[in-house]
Amino acid sequence: MKDMDATVAQAVPAASTDAERVEAARGGDQQAFSGLYQAHAGRLMTVLWRLAGGDRGLAEDWLQDAFVQAWNKLDQLRDPAAFGGWLKRLAINIALGEKRRGRLISVDVEVDASAPEPPWPAADLDLERAIARLPERSRQVLVLFHLSDLGHAEIAELMGIETGTSKAQLHRARNLLKEMLA
Amino acid sequence: MTPNDSRPENSVMDDSELDRRLDALTRIAEPPPDNWTAIERRIRKRRWPKALSAGLAAAAVVAGIALVVLQIGPTPVSSGGLAETMKAEVQAMRVAAPETPAASDIDSPASLMAAWQDNQQAIAQLEQALEHDPDNRLLLEFLTEARMRQARLVRSIGLNQTPNNERSMNL
């Protein structure tokens, strides 16, 4: 990892903004793109791991897919400075889309009740595990609202549900968490 | 009623405590170390520009039709003539670029639909050309490739369907 950081630092000045990196990456500069990965992957990973219900492999697959899609679609990004938000939506769409497709094959697979371990030093392991045990829809809304800073309108759009449903799922998730953590 | 029944609310965490604990959760972690290597490997593959994809399909159809016209025209074309040159050009085009873009390159439903429609048009033109010259092997090859590409696109569209766009993509 340190080697890669050094390579990135050489290719892209430390003060490079997302916009500068995006412009360079559009021209095929993979090192500039790795700078974008360094800047955003850590934040995305925490969201994706929680959306995946604590499945680290799945979260890492989604993270990879998000960056590969971002690379392929960089030309479609109108405002390079908005890369972070655009990438987040890409990643969330991948995560939610895969869950929807998965449901067509195996209907409502029971949430793994084992105790997942976050791939980072957990500040509150009990809460992390309680979130992972939430029913899928409720967990998705809670993670997007509280841990990805999205509003109900945006969550509803991403999940293909009504705004009221998003609010109801959040209410349900919070109540379940309070009961689990009591 | 038992004493426990009378105080369920007391044992449940309050909202402010839950908010405090949610706010304190880790928001940024170290990126997975091996992931970048995997991403780098996947993006190292040459990107397949969509415009080139459509252009190549159109060029292939035009070349195929031109070949048919030359072969059924009043003046016979020598084996070393224009038809052979065109055939070589078409083969060179095939070699220069992969036969179809990766699904991840055109994986938005709109892009997939556009590619599907382009390809459908190409198939129709090739079938029309084959009516004039049923034994033209090059045209048959083109048609086979186009149909295989169409099957892959249909599969990609199926994989990319979400409840929101299923209604608009009746395939």
- Among A36, A63, A105, which would you mutate to test the B interface (most chain B Cβ atoms within 10 Å of its Cβ)? A63
pLDDT of residue B1: 37
Query: How far out from the chain centre does Cα B147 lie?
Result: 14
CB contact under 8 A, A46 and B28: yes
Asked if B119 and B78 touch (Cβ cutoff 8 Å), the reply is no
Share of chain A above pLDDT 90, in %: 75
Task: Choose, out of A38, A61, A67, the residue to mutate when testing the contact with B (most B CBs < 10 Å).
Answer: A67
How far apart are the C-alpha atoms of B113 and B171, rounded to whole Å?
10
* A87 interaction partners in chain B (CB closer than 8 Å): none
Torsion, Cα of A144, A146, A149, A151 (10° steps): 70
How wide is the angle at C-alpha B101 spanned by C-alphas B99 and B104, nearest 5°?
Answer: 155
Nearest to A61 by CA among A32, A23, A103, A99: A99
By mean pLDDT, which of A47-51, A165-169, B17-21, B95-99 is the weakest?
B95-99
pLDDT at B101 (0 to 100): 47
Residues in B closer than 8 angstroms to A45, CB to CB, are 29, 31-32
Model ipTM? 0.82
Task: Using the predicted structure, report yes or no on whether residue A33 has a pLDDT greater than 50.
Answer: yes
Token pair recorded at residue A169: 């799922």
Dihedral sign for Cα A41, A45, A51, A57, please: positive
pLDDT score recorded for residue A102: 52
Q: Which tokens in the block code for residue A34?
A: 């790795």
pLDDT value at residue B126: 78
Shortest Cα–Cα distance, A86 to chain B (Å): 15
pLDDT tens-digit profile, chain B (171 residues): 333 444 344 567 899 999 999 999 999 998 887 899 999 999 885 455 444 555 555 666 666 666 655 555 544 444 455 556 556 555 655 554 444 444 444 456 777 777 777 778 878 877 877 777 777 777 778 788 878 887 877 777 665 554 444 433 433
* Whole-number pLDDT of residue B125: 79
How far apart are alpha carbons A103 and A136 in whole angstroms? 11
Residues in A closer than 8 angstroms to B167, CB to CB, are none
Residue A114 has pLDDT above 70, yes or no: no
Which pLDDT score is estimated for A131?
95
Alpha-helical runs (H) found in chain A: 2-11, 18-26, 30-51, 56-73, 83-105, 125-133, 136-142, 152-159, 163-181
Q: Is the pLDDT of residue A5 over 50?
A: no
Q: What's the pTM?
A: 0.58
CA gap B106, B51 in Å, rounded: 11
Burial environment of residue A83 by CB neighbours within 10 A (0 to 12, 13 to 18, 19 or more): buried
How far does chain A reach from its first CA to its final CA, in angstroms? Answer: 40
